[in-house]
Each structure stands twice: as structure tokens, then as C-alpha cells.
Amino acid sequence: MRAVSLFGSEVKFQQVVPEPTAGNGEVLVDVLLAGICETDLQLRNGYMRFSGIIGHEFVGVARSGRFMGKRVVGEINCSCQRCDWCHRGASNHCPSRSVIGILNRDGVFADTVAIPERNLHVVPDSVSNDFAVFAEPLAAALQIHRQVDLRKKRVAVLGDGRLGMLCAQSARLITDEVLVVGKHSMKLERFIKLGFSTQLLGELTHQPSFDVVIDCTGSPTGLETACAIVQPLGFVILKTTVAREHSMSLAPLVINEVTVVGSRCGPFAEALSALESNAIDLDGLISHRFAIDQAVEAMQTAASHEALKVVFDLSR
């Protein structure tokens, strides 16, 4: 089969790699669409020191098992189901987990991927492939609801990219006051069309005006900006993993008794339900489609400012 692999910091398309075999409890899934995530770009910078087939956002068709022939999306944490973490419902933090395309497990930028069957969720018929491919990042955006009460809160979303779009729309399911802060007027236009207030980062007044700030920048300076605009006793949600280090003083966190919440993967069932009920508008969020053999170009495009979501179309 075809696949896109990371060797050190180099992304390579490979025309012929062995097809995976389904392990115990696993099924093979033929990938239809796969999305490039900020994390995939970070992997190139050394994040997680990963080598192997990358990619973790996908919609595909199960080739066997109880979902055989159905369209599925999949949770990315593959847990042991035996440890304390798994037993108390926190299997996303299973210490011996593998993570699809991120940690000790091949990913979905391939014709076929082996995935534990329990990780799979069937996509409702009314949800298109173009929307279903967002199930994983949308679930991650919805994870914020489980961590911080957004009701009646003034929320700022830092980042005008794909994750910012999902987090802003997720936040608006709970509160009316959501400001999106970004670097690019063109990208902010999309938010304005959806009825969001927006502001250019360069024009942002560094006043503590928000109860909750969601950092979707993928930049090591995101936390510092968030700390400058969050109110005392407020919350900063860190949504993006950044491999690079950044230097900042932590004194403002202490003085203002701010709470910083790391936030990673979220509830797939809620994400699919939000898509099925049209509560989240993803129309046009896919800005570029590539065949899998255009991997290098696709990754470059995903890293550029003009791109929103870049996907591999495995049917090509």
C-alpha cells in the first residue's frame, strides 16, 4: 500500500509499504480522507521523536469486525485496558498507550491502518466525509467543555486556523461572548462570516478582559498572550502542543491566581452528534486536497498561512 512516513525531520511518500496486520482486538480500516493537523507539523520539529507513518485524523471504511463496510472515525489513544488509568475511565492517559501516528503506532496517511475496534465510531449517514474527517479535532475542541464551565463567560480564542475555528464554534455552543484573535485578516474573514467578533493580534489591547482564553496558536508565545488578556481568577486552556521552548515569567499566573488547563483529546460521540445536528459549521474549512503521493507539497501547504484544513484524498 501507499503511505507517508516521517524519518527524522523528513516526510517521505512511499509507494509500496507492507499492509498492516490487525492485532488482537484490532480491525483494518481503509482510509478515505485524512487531515493534516498542527501536531503532524510539530512531529517534523522533533515533537514526540516519532518515526513511522504519520497522521491521526481520518474517516475510513472498516474492512472487518462489527463495523465491517461502515464508515468510521477513530479515537487515537490505543490503551491497554488493564491498568488503573483504563479502569477508572481515563484510558487516554494509559501509561502504556500507543497513539495513532504520534507514539509507537503507525498512522493514517496510508491506504490502510490497523486500529483497535473499540476505538471506532460509526459515522452517521447524514455526515459527509468532508465533515467526518474533523471528528478527532472537533472532539478535542469539545474536551474544553469537560474541563471548564464556559456558561456566561467571556471567551477569547487565540488562533485563526483550523483548531481555532473548531474551538470558537465549540465555545459558542455554551456562551455568546466569543472573540477570535488572529494574525491574518483573510482568515478572520471566515470567522466574521460566521458571526464572530474578531481582532488582529497586533491590535489586541493587553488588558485583562476575558474569563477564559483558549490558546490554539500552536506558538510558544500563545501562553504569554493569554496571560496578558485573561482576568484574575480566570482560565487559560492550552489546546496545542508546541515542541519549541519559550521563555516567560510565571509571576502573572501567581499574582492573578490564573488556572492553566492542558487539554488534549475529547469525546468522539459528542463530536459526531454535533456534526449530525449541524451545530458546527465546517463548510469550506477544507482548503486543499492532495493525493497521497503529493505528501511533501501537502505538508508544506498545511504549514503555510493561507491554508485551513489540508486533507489527503486516498481515493485518488
Query: DSSP readout, 128-175?
Result: -HHHHTTHHHHHHHHHHHHHS--TT--EEEE--SHHHHHHHHHHHTT-
Q: Cβ of residue 252: shortest distance to a second copy, in angstroms?
A: 8
Which cell numbers in the block locate residue 173? 455552543
- Single residue of 85, 98, 228, 297 touching a second copy by CB under 8 A: 85
9 vs 44, 45, 209, CA distance in Å? 5, 6, 40
Q: Are 40 and 52 in contact (CB under 8 A)?
A: no
Question: Per rule CB under 8 A, is residue 209 in the interface with a second copy?
Answer: no
Choose between 258 and 310: whose C-beta lies nearer to a second copy. 258
Residue 44 interacting with a second copy (CB under 8 A): no
- Based on the shown chain and the rule CB under 8 A, indicate whether residue 279 belongs to the binding site for a second copy: no
> Site for a second copy (CB under 8 A): which residue of 173, 253, 291, 296?
253
Site size with a second copy, rule: CB under 8 A: 38
By CB under 8 A, tell whether 241 contacts a second copy.
yes
Among 132, 157, 258, 310, binds a second copy (CB under 8 A): 258
Smallest Cα–Cα separation from 137: which of 44, 34, 63?
A: 34
Q: Does 255 bind a second copy (CB under 8 A)?
A: yes
DSSP letter at 97? -
Which residues inside 148-187 make contact with a second copy, applying CB under 8 A?
Answer: none
Q: Does 238 bind a second copy (CB under 8 A)?
A: yes
Say how far apart CA 150 and CA 266 lie, in whole Å.
16
Residues that bind a second copy (CB under 8 A): 47, 85, 90, 93, 95, 147, 208, 220, 223, 232-233, 238-264
